[in-house]
Amino acid sequence: KDDTPGCTSEACAFQDGLPDFKAVGATVIGVSRDQAESHQRFKAKYGLTFPLIVDTEATLCQAYGVWKEKTMYGKTRMGIERSTFLIDAQGILRRIWRKVKVDGHAEDVLHALRQL
Protein backbone atom coordinates (compact mmCIF):
# COMPACT_ATOMS: atom_id res chain seq x y z
CA LYS A 1 0.00 0.00 0.00
CA ASP A 2 1.42 3.32 -1.07
CA ASP A 3 2.96 5.46 1.67
CA THR A 4 2.70 2.87 4.45
CA PRO A 5 5.84 2.21 6.50
CA GLY A 6 6.68 -1.28 5.21
CA CYS A 7 5.91 -0.59 1.57
CA THR A 8 7.75 2.72 1.68
CA SER A 9 10.86 1.12 3.19
CA GLU A 10 10.78 -1.69 0.66
CA ALA A 11 10.22 0.62 -2.32
CA CYS A 12 13.03 2.95 -1.21
CA ALA A 13 15.42 0.02 -0.73
CA PHE A 14 14.73 -1.21 -4.26
CA GLN A 15 15.10 2.36 -5.57
CA ASP A 16 18.43 2.76 -3.77
CA GLY A 17 19.64 -0.49 -5.33
CA LEU A 18 18.22 0.25 -8.77
CA PRO A 19 21.62 0.88 -10.43
CA ASP A 20 22.80 -2.53 -9.18
CA PHE A 21 19.61 -4.21 -10.40
CA LYS A 22 19.99 -2.59 -13.80
CA ALA A 23 23.66 -3.63 -13.92
CA VAL A 24 22.61 -7.29 -13.79
CA GLY A 25 19.88 -6.74 -16.37
CA ALA A 26 16.95 -6.77 -13.94
CA THR A 27 13.78 -4.71 -14.03
CA VAL A 28 12.11 -3.78 -10.75
CA ILE A 29 8.30 -3.54 -10.79
CA GLY A 30 5.97 -2.95 -7.86
CA VAL A 31 2.32 -4.00 -7.68
CA SER A 32 -0.46 -2.91 -5.34
CA ARG A 33 -4.19 -2.28 -5.32
CA ASP A 34 -3.71 1.49 -5.10
CA GLN A 35 -5.07 3.80 -7.80
CA ALA A 36 -2.80 5.32 -10.46
CA GLU A 37 -3.03 8.75 -8.82
CA SER A 38 -1.85 7.31 -5.51
CA HIS A 39 1.07 5.59 -7.26
CA GLN A 40 2.07 8.86 -8.93
CA ARG A 41 2.04 10.75 -5.62
CA PHE A 42 3.99 7.95 -3.92
CA LYS A 43 6.59 7.85 -6.69
CA ALA A 44 7.00 11.63 -6.64
CA LYS A 45 7.25 11.83 -2.85
CA TYR A 46 10.04 9.23 -2.64
CA GLY A 47 11.73 9.69 -6.03
CA LEU A 48 10.79 6.22 -7.26
CA THR A 49 11.66 5.66 -10.91
CA PHE A 50 10.57 2.05 -11.39
CA PRO A 51 7.02 1.19 -12.54
CA LEU A 52 4.19 0.60 -10.08
CA ILE A 53 1.35 -1.47 -11.49
CA VAL A 54 -2.26 -0.70 -10.58
CA ASP A 55 -4.16 -3.86 -9.57
CA THR A 56 -7.32 -2.44 -7.99
CA GLU A 57 -9.33 -5.63 -8.55
CA ALA A 58 -6.48 -7.85 -7.22
CA THR A 59 -6.45 -9.78 -10.51
CA LEU A 60 -2.67 -9.99 -10.69
CA CYS A 61 -2.43 -10.57 -6.94
CA GLN A 62 -4.81 -13.53 -7.21
CA ALA A 63 -2.94 -14.93 -10.23
CA TYR A 64 0.31 -14.90 -8.24
CA GLY A 65 -1.35 -16.29 -5.12
CA VAL A 66 -0.64 -13.31 -2.88
CA TRP A 67 -4.25 -12.20 -2.24
CA LYS A 68 -4.67 -13.79 1.18
CA GLU A 69 -6.79 -13.68 4.28
CA LYS A 70 -4.86 -11.74 6.90
CA THR A 71 -5.48 -11.20 10.60
CA MET A 72 -4.35 -8.05 12.37
CA TYR A 73 -5.41 -6.85 15.80
CA GLY A 74 -8.00 -9.63 15.95
CA LYS A 75 -9.67 -8.64 12.68
CA THR A 76 -9.61 -10.77 9.55
CA ARG A 77 -9.57 -9.21 6.10
CA MET A 78 -8.23 -9.86 2.63
CA GLY A 79 -4.90 -8.29 1.75
CA ILE A 80 -1.68 -8.71 -0.15
CA GLU A 81 0.97 -10.99 1.30
CA ARG A 82 4.26 -9.11 0.75
CA SER A 83 6.06 -11.22 -1.85
CA THR A 84 8.73 -10.97 -4.51
CA PHE A 85 8.91 -12.99 -7.72
CA LEU A 86 12.13 -13.35 -9.66
CA ILE A 87 11.29 -13.98 -13.31
CA ASP A 88 14.14 -14.44 -15.76
CA ALA A 89 14.47 -12.96 -19.26
CA GLN A 90 12.74 -16.03 -20.74
CA GLY A 91 9.73 -15.57 -18.47
CA ILE A 92 10.64 -18.48 -16.19
CA LEU A 93 9.84 -18.04 -12.51
CA ARG A 94 13.18 -18.65 -10.80
CA ARG A 95 12.48 -17.77 -7.18
CA ILE A 96 9.67 -16.69 -4.86
CA TRP A 97 9.99 -14.89 -1.55
CA ARG A 98 6.77 -14.99 0.51
CA LYS A 99 5.91 -13.15 3.72
CA VAL A 100 8.84 -10.85 3.02
CA LYS A 101 10.54 -9.01 5.85
CA VAL A 102 11.64 -5.67 4.43
CA ASP A 103 15.03 -5.24 6.12
CA GLY A 104 17.73 -6.60 3.81
CA HIS A 105 15.25 -7.98 1.29
CA ALA A 106 16.37 -5.91 -1.71
CA GLU A 107 19.94 -7.07 -1.07
CA ASP A 108 18.77 -10.71 -0.88
CA VAL A 109 17.02 -10.36 -4.25
CA LEU A 110 20.11 -8.77 -5.80
CA HIS A 111 22.26 -11.60 -4.45
CA ALA A 112 19.89 -14.17 -5.99
CA LEU A 113 20.02 -12.33 -9.33
CA ARG A 114 23.80 -12.44 -9.31
CA GLN A 115 23.64 -16.22 -8.83
CA LEU A 116 21.66 -16.75 -12.05
pLDDT tens digits, residue range 19-29? Answer: 999 999 999 99
Does the pLDDT at position 79 exceed 90? yes
Residue 53: name the closest of 38, 67, 63, 65 by CA. 38
Into how many domains does the chain fold? 1
CB contact at 8 A, 69 and 77:
yes
The C-alpha atoms of residue 43 and residue 52 are separated, in whole angstroms, by 8
What CATH code is carried by the domain that includes residue 72?
Answer: 3.40.30.10
Domain that residue 34 falls in = 5-115
Catalytic amino acids? Answer: 7
pLDDT tens digits, residue range 32-67? Answer: 999 999 999 999 999 999 999 999 999 999 999 999
